Amino acid sequence: MDHYGCRYKGLMEQGSTCHLNSVLQVLFMTKEFREAVERNNSDDESLDFHLKNLFTDLKQQTGDTKHITEKLGITSERKQCDAAECLQNILRSLTDSVASQLFKGVIMRKNKCSKCTKETGTSEQFWSLPLELVDSFQDYSVADGIIKYFSESNVSGQDQLFCVDCNSKSDSTDKLEIQHHPEVLTLELKRYKFNYILKEDAKITCMVQIPMFLQIPSTGDQSQRYEVYACVELFGDRKRNGIYTVNIKSQDDDKWYHFNGISVRPSWPQPFQRSEEEKNKNACLLFYRKIPAPNIKEASTSGDVETEKTAKNEMDVETKEQSGSEAATQEPDEQDKTSLIPGFKYKGLLNQGSTCYLNSVLQVLFMTREFREAVERYNNEDDSPDFHLKSLFMDLKKNTGDTKHITKKLDITSGTLKISFMLTSYWFARGLNGCFFATLCFLRRSFFLTLHCGAHGEV
């Protein structure tokens, strides 16, 4: 189903397979993985073959996962597994190692005896890193969770390990290190913990702080930076019958899209537009893409916030230059409000003091096509409200608008008290000189309009 003119397609459900659909959409939207699967020429009944066919279909129409579910042994009668388990099943079942290697990392567990100080290590492959959530009213930080995951811990008491050199059990320290950073790092947020009273898994509902950029590990020469591009969410209190959806950032246009079964639409609001961190109480699986070495300096981390803020506000620089000294004196938070979702056609209005009520009225006038076209037919270059309104409407088609001349013409100052929406509308309509038809159009329609345009340059 092609919602909202979206280029991406959804997936039909085969019973309780929303967990599978969410994972498949992430794999399809991971360009390197999709291209590796498409290069596979096997003409057999392997999972690779069916995955390739599904990806081909998804470029044109809603996909059918029937052959995938059969190959993975998923039936409508079987309780659905979680998304992380489903991802691992798919990656392990692929015959093409090139595709699966993108998600595979190697981690080493180092153990150091506290008596003889001898250090031993064992390596193992991983598809995802598990992060244990805590059931509390406090937010869980993914960045802090990663630091804790790679921190050194003490092993003592009943957990003592046997030391060959000491020929006995002894206290030791234990630490994890990544030997190979995967191209795609998957973080599994352990949302469920077994409840011994209810005799079932109970959901941990704490809010999770998801950073846009992540450094693994947090320090050291071997650290690697990643950028988040997908978040699988699980709605519902029970692990086996919850509803899975996923938000994915497209590599084609850098926009986020929400996938829910056959429905696909742009995510609203777009994640990470206001901050380098998002909060989510349903996130259960996060996907981070490795940032290539030449681009690492362009990414922001917790220790380099100012660099990312500069890049993030590039669009605001042009707005400041156009809006003059008054806009340039706005607070940083106020300037951030002029940022728009990339590709969004409508623009906001700068606030000249307490003029949000005026901005709302002006946005209604601009979005009333008959009124806007009547104003644009006004040809006199004078100091009338008609002329300044025409100029403002022309600006709004390209960039954030400045209402300085409008507020001056209507004698609105920063000290003027706000007045009601309808009084402002009537006041403005009476001020129009040449646009009689525009005035009639607005008075006829204004009583039936619902406002959706923000007042501080936010649309």
85-105 pLDDT, tens digit per residue, is 999 999 999 988 889 999 999
pLDDT at residue 450, rounded to an integer? 34
Q: Which tens digits make up the pLDDT trace of 349-360?
A: 887 767 888 889
16 lies in some domain: yes
**122 near 172, Cβ under 8 Å?**
no
Q: How many domains are there within the chain? A: 2
**294 near 43, Cβ under 8 Å?**
no
Half-sphere exposure of 86 (CA within 13 A, CB side): 26
189 lies in some domain: no
Mention every residue, 6+ apart, whose C-beta is less than 8 A from residue 65. Answer: 11, 12, 13, 14, 17, 20, 21, 24, 54
pLDDT at residue 294, rounded to an integer? 63
- Beta-strand relationship, 140-141 and 208-211: parallel
Domain end residue (candidates: 56, 75, 99): 99
Domain end residue (candidates: 65, 81, 99): 99
381 lies in some domain: yes
Helices (H), 95-195: 97-101, 142-149
**257 near 247, Cβ under 8 Å?**
yes
Residue range 77-85: average pLDDT? 72
128 lies in some domain: no
434 lies in some domain: yes
**Dihedral pair phi/psi, residue 399, rounded to 5°:** -150, 175
337 lies in some domain: yes
Least confident of 7-16, 149-158, 323-332: 323-332
pLDDT at residue 428, rounded to an integer? 57
Q: What is the 3-state secondary structure (H, E, C) of 38-102?
A: HCCCCCCCCHHHHHHHHHHHHCCCCECCHHHHHHHCCCCCCCCCCHHHHHHHHHHHCCCHHHHHC
Burial 386-419 (b: 16+ CB within 10 A, else e): bbbbbbbbebbeebbbbbbebbebbebeeeeeee
Mention every residue, 6+ apart, whose C-beta is less than 8 A from residue 388. Answer: 405, 406, 409
SS3 (DSSP) at 354: coil
277 lies in some domain: no
Between the alpha carbon of residue 343 and those of residues 233, 255, 258, 398, 421, the distances in Å are: 26, 9, 17, 12, 30
Q: Which tens digits make up the pLDDT trace of 240-272?
A: 678 999 999 999 999 999 999 999 999 999 999
**137 near 87, Cβ under 8 Å?**
no
SS3 (DSSP) at 120: strand
Instruction: Give the Cα separation of 366 and 442 in Å (integer).
Output: 10
Residue range 387-414: average pLDDT? 83
Please give the model's pTM, rounded to 2 decimal places: 0.65
Domain end residue (candidates: 79, 99, 119): 99
413 lies in some domain: yes
Residue 179 has pLDDT above 70, yes or no: yes
Q: Cα-atom radius of gyration of the chain, to the nearest Å? A: 28
Domain that holds residue 360: 325-448
| CA-CA-CA-CA torsion sign (162, 165, 170, 173) | negative
CATH of the domain at 432: 3.90.70.10
Burial 338-365 (b: 16+ CB within 10 A, else e): bbbeeeeeebbbbbbeebebbbbbbbbb
